[in-house]
Amino acid sequence: MKRKLFLLFVGLMVMFVLAACGAKSQEDVVKELNSKLGDLDSYKVNAKMTLQMGAEPQVYNVEIWHKDPTYYRVNLKNAKQDQSQMILRNDEGVFVLTPALNKSFKFQSDWPQNSSQAYLYESLIADIIEDKEAKFEATKDHYVFETKTRYQNNKMLPLQEIKLNKKDLSPSQVKVMDPDRNALVTVEFEKVKFDASFDKDDFDMKNNMTRANIGLPAMAEVKNNEFTVKYPSAEIQGVGLIDEDEVAIEDGKRVILTYGGGEKSYTLIQERAVAVETIGTSSLVNGEPIDLGFTIGALTERSITWTQDGVDYKLASNDLTPEEMVMVARSVEVNGVK
């Protein structure tokens, strides 16, 4: 009897040792991710992105295509409104497309290499590899990393939790957090296909604009060009709304909000966006594409411009840092603080 118990004990110990040997360390997983990054040729991903930056959560469906080395197509579509925006990178440069307006803007930019991108797989791997202080946990089905982000000019979102599926290291979920660890951006990956195939024109700007326009109502058909004025909710010490001016223009109205009162000031201009009749004409933008969460904007040293829900916005300031401008732009909403 004692011999049987002894053999049973030895067997259990062997099982525990083997199980421990089979558990991968953080270094093992990072090494595998590095190898996967080197072998990554292409993928197609479908995801749902939820933003918690305003009064109510905003949900977007995101479709991501990537073909090595530098071809990208990211299509952002509001889950409630039939409106979309696309960021495209090919041999000609980086483009931001607004299909309902037939508008495209061209950037000479290193996007997406110059910043974290919560919905790009290789960007997440780079964040994990580069953060030597990243935290690691292994659950039953996932490897979970907590890393610093590489967002430019954005201390609002310094941390992220990256959850990878154990079976193939594909992304499962990403939470981008503020300094208090509140998740302001959550990306849930619903479908990931590695080694995806593409047609030769899948990353062509004109082809993507034409395909996106099929069955899409034009924003230019909005009657009388009315729109609801939005206000930023972000707080900058001593700064408040000091003037709101409405100016009649050819295509409707332009609303100019002036903020000041403290050591800093800025101006926010809003007007109804006008559709372009000809597909394929791109305006060159001096600046960098900046992910505002709900849309892609253009960031320069003194301004941010973007289009949302058929309205053009321009935030300009000689006093705000780029980080502060991004913070204000992200907070612009209908129920903002006047």
The pLDDT assigned to 21 comes to 47
Give the pair of three-digit tokens for residue 337. 């603080």
> What are phi and psi for residue 254, nearest 5 degrees?
-125, 130
Chain-centre distance for alpha carbon 200: 26
C-alpha distances (whole Å) from 65 to each of 62, 70, 71, 87, 152 are 10, 11, 8, 11, 23
Which pLDDT value is given to residue 124?
Answer: 96
Burial degree of 250 (CB within 10 A; 0-12, 13-18, 19+)? exposed
Provide the pLDDT for residue 19: 44
DSSP 123: H
**Cα→Cα distances 67→88, 200, 318, Å:** 12, 11, 39
**The predicted structure's pLDDT at residue 259:** 97
Q: Is the peptide bond before 158 cis (omega within 30 degrees of 0)?
A: no
Strand spans (E) along 119-205: 135-138, 142-148, 159-165, 171-177, 183-194
Q: Which of 155, 151, 110, 336 is nearest to 244 (CA)?
A: 336
pLDDT of residue 220: 43
The span from the first CA to the last CA of the chain, in angstroms, equals 82
What is the Cα–Cα distance from 323 to 321, expressed in whole angstroms? Answer: 5
Predicted local confidence at residue 174, as pLDDT = 98
Could you tell me the pTM of the whole model? 0.84
d(CA 82, CA 265): 35
From CA 309, how far away is CA 305, in angstroms rounded? 14
Closest to 317 measured CA to CA, from 306, 298, 301, 333: 301
Q: Give the ranges where the chain is alpha helix by DSSP (H).
A: 2-22, 26-39, 121-130, 205-213, 322-330
Q: Tokens 């590899």 — which residue?
A: 129
Instruction: For CA atoms 139, 141, 143, 145, give the dihedral sign.
Output: negative
Burial class (CB in 10 A: 0-12, 13-18, 19+), 50: middle
Radius of gyration over every alpha carbon of the chain, rounded to an integer in angstroms: 24
**43 touches 66 (CB < 8 A):** yes
CA 148 to chain centre: 16
pLDDT (tens place) for every residue of the chain, 338 residues total = 555 555 455 455 544 444 444 589 999 999 999 999 999 999 999 999 998 876 778 889 999 999 988 999 999 988 666 678 899 999 999 999 988 888 889 998 889 987 899 999 999 999 999 999 999 999 999 999 999 999 866 678 899 999 999 999 999 999 999 999 999 999 999 999 999 999 989 999 999 988 887 755 554 444 456 889 999 988 898 999 999 999 998 878 999 999 998 889 999 999 998 887 766 678 888 888 988 877 889 998 899 999 988 899 999 999 999 889 998 998 897 555 56
325 Cβ contact list (under 8 Å, min separation 6):
153, 266, 299, 303, 304, 315, 317
Separation of alpha carbons 98 and 299, rounded Å = 17
Q: Write the CB contacts of 258 (distance below 8 Å, at least 6 apart in sequence).
A: 241, 242, 243, 244, 245, 265, 267
Which pLDDT value is given to residue 337?
58
Alpha helical stretches, state H, 162-302: 205-213
